[in-house]
Amino acid sequence: MKRASTLALAALSLAYGPAALRAQPHPAQTQAVAARLRDSALRSDRAFELVEQLTTRFGPRPAGSPAERAAADWIAATLLADGFSSVRIERFPLKVWTRRAESCKVIWPSEQPLAVTMLGGSPSTPPGGVEGEIVRFSSLEALAAAAPEILQGRIVFLDYVMPAMQSGLGYALATAGRSQGPGLARRGGALAFVMRSAGTARDREPHTGLTAYQGAWAPLPSFALSPEDAEQLARLLALGPTRIRLEGSAVIRDGHSQNVIAEIPGATAGREIVLLGAHLDSWDLGTGAQDDAAGVGVVVAAAQLLRDTGIRPRRTVRLVLFGAEEPSQPEAPGGLYGAHDYARRNASAAGDHVIASESDLGSGRIFGLDLPPAAASSGFASEAASLLLPLGILVDPELPPHGGADMLPMQAAGVPVFLLKQDASRYFDVHHSAADTLGTVSAADLRQNVAAWAALIWLVANSEATFR
Amino acid sequence: MKRASTLALAALSLAYGPAALRAQPHPAQTQAVAARLRDSALRSDRAFELVEQLTTRFGPRPAGSPAERAAADWIAATLLADGFSSVRIERFPLKVWTRRAESCKVIWPSEQPLAVTMLGGSPSTPPGGVEGEIVRFSSLEALAAAAPEILQGRIVFLDYVMPAMQSGLGYALATAGRSQGPGLARRGGALAFVMRSAGTARDREPHTGLTAYQGAWAPLPSFALSPEDAEQLARLLALGPTRIRLEGSAVIRDGHSQNVIAEIPGATAGREIVLLGAHLDSWDLGTGAQDDAAGVGVVVAAAQLLRDTGIRPRRTVRLVLFGAEEPSQPEAPGGLYGAHDYARRNASAAGDHVIASESDLGSGRIFGLDLPPAAASSGFASEAASLLLPLGILVDPELPPHGGADMLPMQAAGVPVFLLKQDASRYFDVHHSAADTLGTVSAADLRQNVAAWAALIWLVANSEATFR
C-alpha cells in the first residue's frame, strides 16, 4: 500500500507542481482539490503505519510516563521532518497515578481468582487486601437508594451491563456508575467498590478509566471486573452469600506531560485557525491503539496529505496532539489536562479559532457529520455533503455537535466544533483494556477516516464560513 | 428450557412406563428409542446447566487441586442422586505443578509489558527473572537447525502461527513446538524459551499447556506469549535488537487426583462395557468451560437421558469422568494420569470394553462420525448414519478414528474407539487460556452434541456389533 500511496501523491504533486508551498488556488478549485485529497487518502496506509509505529515503539503511554514523553518527541520530530510549521512541544505539570499490582479472589463459597483492574486514581488497599461480603446493585440508582446498613462493612458490586451501540451512547451510563459509584459506596461505609467493566465484549479483560475524586485519590479502593468475571460473580451470588478479597496498590507523584503542536500556515487568513486534534496518551493496560493512536494516525495522515499538495490553504490548519487526556484529579475533573493547558494558553485567541474537532473514538468507520447549527443549512453544509457522500457519510443537521473530549475547554470558550461520527459498535469491546492493541485496528477503516478528515479540513480551511 | 425438558422427559416416561429399570426392549424398538432420545436432547439444556454449575461452583480445576476434588465429589453425588449404579471415586497419586506468579517486560528498545504465561511444568526463573536478547524462529525445524552459538545466552522465541481449522489439526504442529522447543533451546545454551501461544484468537490471552520434561521439570523456564504480544515482539524485532525480561515462579508437590465412575448396568450382556468419557480437570487460567466442562456436560446429560428412559440397555453403559488429563510428568508423559490409572485398574478387562470414546473438544457442533474400520461398512454404520443425519452429522468411513486423549491407554490395550467429530474452528481461540469460560459456550451446540451422544450410545449399547 505504501507504493500505491507514493504513486498517488506523486500524481498529486504533478498536478499541482512541486511541494514548496504556493499561494491559495482559485476558490473554484477548492472542491476539486478536496475530492482529490479524499481519493488519495483511500489509497494510502499512512495512518495505519503511524498507529503501528506509535504502539510498537512506545507500547502503553500513560499520562506523565516516559513512554508518553518519548512518543511526543518522536511525533514532533516526524512532523518537523515532514515540513510542518511552528512545530512545538508545550509541557505542563500533572499528578501521575501509577498502578503497581492488583488481584481479586473469591473466598466463599469456593476459592477462585477473578480478573480485575483498579480504576484510575484508586487508592491502595491495606497490604493483604480488603475482604468482605458482596452486595450487588444492577444500577447506580439502586445503589444511591440503598440504606447505609446494607453497605456497611461490605464490598459494593455495581453490575450495570453496558449495551453495544453504534453511537457509543451506552458508555454514558457506565461512566456515571464509574465516577459516582465509589463515592456512594463510601457514604454507606462500604470497604471497597467493584463494578462490571464499562465494556461491551464478553471476555476476561477488565476495563479501567477515571472516577471522581475526594482530595488526591478516589474515595475508596475501586476496581472493575471483566464482563465474564462480573457474570461469574453474579452467578455465585445467585447460589448464596459470596465473599471476595480485593488487593491493589498504586502511587501518585508529581510529573509532566505535553501537547505537540504543528501547523500549515494559512495563505491569506493565517490568523484564522482550523483546529484538528487527537491525544497521545493512553491507559496503561493496552497499547492504546484505538484510544487514541488511531485518532493520532488519522489527523496526522490527513494533515500530511494537505501538506503534500504544496498548496497553502486560506486559513491556518493547526494540529494539536494532546497529552494527558485520560487521567483525572481534583484540579482537572474529567481528565483533559492537556486540553485545559491548551485552552489556558489560548484564552485570548479563542476568537481566532474558526472551528475545531478531535478524532477520539478509535478506528471505526465514519457514518455521519454533525456541523454547528450556524452551518447546518448553509452552502458549506451542502458542499461537505457532496464530498462525503461517496465515503458513506451523511451530513446530519439535527444534533448540536460534540467535538471530542479535548475540545471541551475551547468549546466552553465559544469555539464552534464539528463531529465526524464514527461507528462505535465494537470500540468499547477493547477501550481502556489490555485488548486495546494494534490487532483490533482496521487499515481499511482508517483510510476512510483519513479521507473524510482530509477533504473536510481542506474545505473548512479554504472557506469563508464562520460557523458562529 | 428446563420446563420444556421436563415435559419432554415426562412424555418419554409415559411412553415407556415408570422410571424403574425394566428389561431390554425388542431390538426393533432400539432405533425408535434412539431417535426419541435424540429429539428429547434437542429440547433440553441439562448439559449447559451442568457446565454452568461446574464452572461457577468450582472455577478453575487444576489437576490435584482442592477445586478438582470438590468438583469430583459434587458430580459423584449428582450421579448417585440420579440413580446411576456403581458410582465410585478412584483416587491416584500425582505430581502437582502450581503456578505462583509470572511476568514479561520488553527492556530494549523501550520498556513495555508483554502478556505471558508459564507452560505447565516450567521451572521458576531466578528471583528477578532472566534477561536476554531475543532470537526468533518461525518454525521448530529452524530452531532445531540453529547453531548453538546463536542460542547461547539468548532467549529463544518460537513464533509459529497456528491456523484455525475445523479439524483442529493446526494444534498438532503448535504442540510439537511446545513440547520440543524448550529442550532444543536448552541444548544450545539459551536462557529461556518463549513461544507464540498455541491459539487461534488475536487477543491478549496467553495459552498454557504441557511441555516435555527432563526429570521433574521442563528443561528451561518456558513461557507462551499471547498472539497479540507475539506480534508486538516480532514488530519490535523488525525495528532492531530487542531484549526482554521473563520472570516466573512455580512449585511442585505430591498430591492426589481421582476418576469418577458411574454405570447403567446392561440387561442381558452386562459384562460388555460401552465407555463414554470426559475430563473434570482444567488448566488454571480459565474455568475450563470448553476444556472440558463442556464434555462432562455432554456425556453426563446423554447418560441421564438414557437413564431416564427407564429401560435397561443390552450392554453396560459406563461413564468415566477423568481426573488429571492435562498435566504431564516423566512418569506420565503426555499427561493423562487419570486415563493411565483407569487402564491399569482395567488391564484384565480390556476385552470387555466393546467401544469407547471421549468428548474433549469443547462445545462445537458435531459434523462427522468416525467408526472403527470393522464397523465402517456394517449395518451398524448405516443405522447410525440415518439416526445422525437429521443432526447434520455424516458418517465418514475414511479415517481410522481417534477416540479422545483419555482413551489412548485403553486403545493401546486393544479397545476400539469411535469419534464424534466436532467443529474446532474457534475452540483454540480460548483453549488453555483465561478466556476459556462459560461465556464462550453455546447452549444450542451442546444440545446437538447431547443428541448425537445419547442416540449413538443407545444404539451401541443395544447392538450386537463387536467393532473389533
Residues 6 or more apart in contact with residue A21 via CB below 8 angstroms:
A265, A310, A311, A312
C-alpha to C-alpha distances, B158 to A409, B142, B147, B172, B184, nearest whole angstrom: 49, 9, 15, 15, 11
Contacts of A287 in chain B (CB under 8 A): 112, 232
Contacts of B106 in chain A (CB under 8 A): 59
Taking an 8 Å cut-off on Cβ atoms, the answer to whether B239 and A67 are in contact is no
Taking an 8 Å cut-off on Cβ atoms, the answer to whether B239 and A59 are in contact is no
> What phi and psi, each to the nearest 5 degrees, are found at residue A143?
-65, -45
What angle in degrees, to the nearest 10, is found between the helix axes of A294-308 and A66-81?
10
Taking an 8 Å cut-off on Cβ atoms, the answer to whether A231 and B438 are in contact is yes
Of A70, A110, A235, nearest to B58 by CB-CB distance is A110
Give the closest-approach CA distance of B286 to chain A in angstroms: 9
Q: Best residue in B74, B106, B112, B433 to probe A by mutation, most A CBs within 10 Å?
A: B112
- The tens-digit pLDDT sequence of chain B (468 residues) is 333 333 333 333 333 433 344 444 456 689 999 999 999 999 999 999 999 999 999 999 999 999 999 999 999 999 999 999 999 999 999 999 999 999 999 999 999 999 999 999 999 999 999 999 999 999 999 999 999 999 999 999 999 999 999 989 889 888 899 999 999 999 999 999 999 999 999 899 999 998 887 777 888 999 999 999 999 999 999 999 999 999 999 999 999 999 999 999 999 999 999 999 999 999 999 999 999 999 999 999 999 999 999 999 999 999 999 999 988 766 666 789 999 999 999 999 999 999 999 999 999 999 999 999 888 778 899 999 999 999 999 987 656 788 999 999 999 999 999 999 999 999 999 999 999 999 999 999 999 999 999 999 999 999 999 898
Beta carbons of A395 and A369 less than 8 angstroms apart: yes
Is A191 in a helix, a strand, or coil? coil
Q: Report the predicted TM-score, pTM, of the whole model to 2 decimal places.
A: 0.89
Nearest CA in chain B to A60: B112
User: Quick one: cell of B198?
Assistant: 498455541
Residue A52 has pLDDT above 50, yes or no: yes
Of B56, B110, B231, nearest to A236 by CB-CB distance is B56
Taking an 8 Å cut-off on Cβ atoms, the answer to whether B115 and A434 are in contact is yes
Taking an 8 Å cut-off on Cβ atoms, the answer to whether B111 and A57 are in contact is no
Encode pLDDT of A388-444 as tens digits.
Answer: 999 999 987 656 788 899 999 999 999 999 999 999 999 999 999 999 999 999 999
Q: Best residue in A104, A110, A114 to probe B by mutation, most B CBs within 10 Å?
A: A110
- Tell me what pLDDT residue B332 has: 64
Residues 6 or more apart in contact with residue B382 via CB below 8 angstroms:
none
Contacts of A288 in chain B (CB under 8 A): none
Q: Best residue in A204, A429, A436 to probe B by mutation, most B CBs within 10 Å?
A: A204
Contacts of B110 in chain A (CB under 8 A): 57-59, 67, 70
Distance CA A56, CA A49 (A): 10
- Tell me what pLDDT residue A379 has: 87
- Tell me what pLDDT residue A115 has: 98
Encode pLDDT of A54-68 as tens digits.
Answer: 999 999 999 999 999
Taking an 8 Å cut-off on Cβ atoms, the answer to whether B59 and A286 are in contact is no
Taking an 8 Å cut-off on Cβ atoms, the answer to whether A106 and B231 are in contact is no
Taking an 8 Å cut-off on Cβ atoms, the answer to whether A70 and B110 are in contact is yes
Tell me the torsion sign for CA atoms B340, B346, B351, B354: negative
Residues 6 or more apart in contact with residue B78 via CB below 8 angstroms:
B300
Of B55, B203, B236, nearest to A56 by CB-CB distance is B236
ipTM metric: 0.87
Angle at B90 between CA B87 and CA B93, to 5 degrees: 165
Beta carbons of B320 and B467 less than 8 angstroms apart: no
Torsion of CA B76, B78, B84, B90, to 10 degrees: 0
CB pairs under 8 A between A and B: 91
Residue A139: is it exposed, middle or buried by C-beta count within 10 angstroms (0-12/13-18/19+)? middle
Beta carbons of B188 and B150 less than 8 angstroms apart: yes
Instruction: Report chain B's terminal Cα–Cα distance, integer Å.
Output: 40
Nearest CA in chain A to B437: A228
More confident residue, A216 or B110: B110
Distance CA B286, CA B432 (A): 7
Q: How many beta carbons lie within 10 A of that of residue A147, not counting itself?
A: 8
Of A59, A67, A439, nearest to B231 by CB-CB distance is A439
Taking an 8 Å cut-off on Cβ atoms, the answer to whether B439 and A66 are in contact is no
Give the closest-approach CA distance of B206 to chain A in angstroms: 12
Nearest alpha-carbon partner for A308 in A75, A41, A1: A41
- Tell me what pLDDT residue B399 has: 67
Encode pLDDT of A264-295 as tens digits.
Answer: 999 999 999 999 999 999 999 999 999 999 99
Nearest CA in chain B to A438: B228
Q: Best residue in B110, B200, B225, B284 to probe A by mutation, most A CBs within 10 Å?
A: B110
For B72-94, give one letter per residue: b (16+ CB within 10 A) or e: bebbbebbeeebbeebeebebeb
- Tell me what pLDDT residue A329 has: 67
Of B113, B232, B439, nearest to A231 by CB-CB distance is B439
Residues 6 or more apart in contact with residue A163 via CB below 8 angstroms:
A170, A200
Q: How many beta carbons lie within 10 A of that of residue A150, not counting itself?
A: 14
Give the closest-approach CA distance of B439 to chain A in angstroms: 7
Cis ω before B109 (30° cut-off from 0): yes
Beta carbons of A105 and A244 less than 8 angstroms apart: yes
